[in-house]
Amino acid sequence: MTFNPMDMTGRAVLVTGASSGLGRAAAIALSRLGARVFLLARDEVRLCETLAALEGDGHGHLSFDLNSVDDIPKVMADIAGRFSPLSGIAHFAGLMQTKPLQASKPADYESLYRVNVIAGMQLLRSCAARGIVTDAGAAVVLVGSVMSLVASPGQGAYAASKAAVLGLVRTSALELARFRVRVNAVLPAHVSTQGADTSNHHLTPEQMEQFERKHPLGFGRPEDVANAAAFLLSDASRWITGSALTVDGGYTAQ
């Protein structure tokens, strides 16, 4: 058999945001690497579309609103009990928003922070609870953004939430190491998805071309981010924790 350090056979991985975009691509990539994948998002129909696109057997799914952050520990216990203790968690559920500072309201910041950060924090807290992750430990990937590193007008609430993801990743990597839980982030630049397209709907075709030129390798594809997340969830990254991997076609290299 060919050696593959990213082989995920026998691993159970939870993917949030699996009904769309990057989360859906990650779920598919992980299933191709042999993982059993548990899909979570709100939209049951689109979750089932992802389920149908997975390779292999034994996958699961749950329609759940991550705004209900207080219920996340119970949901994690249910998933671990009914599906399997987890080897990996990829938190791709997230909200994007483009709104100038002067038009922003506290509620805009609160709603982005709730799903992008607090839900991630609750998933991470669960890793320290008995029976949620395997005895061999687990790897967690949170999705940040290049907007946590560089600025763009109108991205205040979004950038603030993604900068918080970086702080959460580094701190929880230290706190969860004793549970053999690794925590890392991927920081994508622009990839066309439902969420990104909605967030950029105000841009003209010319502005989108200008935006693409800021990416030396052009815009990315969902699978580019999915593969980076799969690497961070696999044993190929066994000694990597507390790090943030830019997946940005060179956007932040300039």
Residue closer to ligand NAP, measured from CB, 20 or 234: 20
Give the 3-state DSSP-derived string for 169-206, with helices as H, strands as E and coil as C: HHHHHHHHHHHCEEEEEEEECCECCHHHHHHCCCCCHH
Q: Which residue has the tokens 């949620």?
A: 132
Tell me if residue 158 is catalytic. Answer: yes
Contact 97, 159 (CB under 8 A): no
Tell the smallest beta-carbon distance from residue 234 to ligand NAP (Å). 20
Q: Does 93 bind ligand NAP (CB under 6 A)?
A: yes
Dist CA 3 CA 126 (whole Å): 32
Q: Please, what is the minimum distance in Å from the beta carbon of residue 165 to ligand NAP?
A: 8
Going through the chain in order, the beta strands assigned E by DSSP cover 12-16, 36-41, 60-63, 88-91, 138-143, 181-188, 244-247
96 binds ligand NAP (CB under 6 A): yes
Among 14, 23, 169, 173, contact with ligand NAP (rule: CB under 6 A): 23
Where does this chain touch ligand NAP (CB under 6 A) — which range of 4-12, 78-86, 93-101, 133-141? 93-101
Helix/strand/coil for 228: helix
Cβ contact 1:25 at 8 Å: no
Residue 27 Cβ vs ligand NAP, minimum distance, rounded to whole Å: 10
Binds ligand NAP (CB under 6 A): choice among 86, 195, 227, 249 = 195
Asked whether position 188 contacts ligand NAP by CB under 6 A, the answer is yes
The closest of 56, 50, 58, 65 to 33, measured between CA atoms, is 56
Q: How far apart are CA 58 and CA 69, in angstroms?
A: 27
The residue (of 27 and 127) whose beta carbon lies closer to ligand NAP is 27
Number of chain positions touching ligand NAP (CB under 6 A):
29
| Residue whose C-beta lies closest to ligand NAP | 94
Site mask, ligand NAP, residues 119-158, x = CB under 6 A?
------------------------x-x-------------
Residue 245 host element (H or E): strand 244-247
Helix (H, G, I), strand (E, B) or coil at 236: helix
Catalytically annotated residues: 158
Q: Which residues of this protein are in contact with ligand NAP, per CB under 6 A?
A: 17, 19-23, 41-43, 46, 65-67, 92-96, 115-116, 143, 145, 188, 190-191, 193-196
